[in-house]
Amino acid sequence: MSLRYQQYMALKRTKNFLRCLLTVSEYPKTKKEMRAEASACLRHFPFLHDNGQPMWSKDDLTEDVLE
């Protein structure tokens, strides 16, 4: 299981990736780049409980890591 800050950053990265896909932008340019970014987003993405809430790891998440 990934560390909590890695899971948090994966959520942020995924949010940015999806926004990028919805806007007319130059990134990602090819299917290969899109697959690579999607793979990177899912690498540390937190598992979900049955109710849809993220299943965070048990380590401490400090504010200085999030910045």
pLDDT in tens, 24-55: 766 667 888 888 988 988 888 877 778 877 77
Residue 21's domain spans which residues?
1-43
Domain count, the chain: 1
Q: Is residue 66 part of a domain?
A: no
Give pTM, 2 decimals. 0.67
- Is residue 52 situated within a structural domain? no
Here the contacts of 34-42 (C-beta below 8 Å, separation 24 or greater) are 40/13, 41/10, 41/13, 41/14, 41/17, 42/10, 42/14
pLDDT in the model for residue 26: 65
**pLDDT confidence tier of residue 61, bands split at 50, 70 and 90:** low
The pLDDT score that the predictor gives to residue 25 is 67
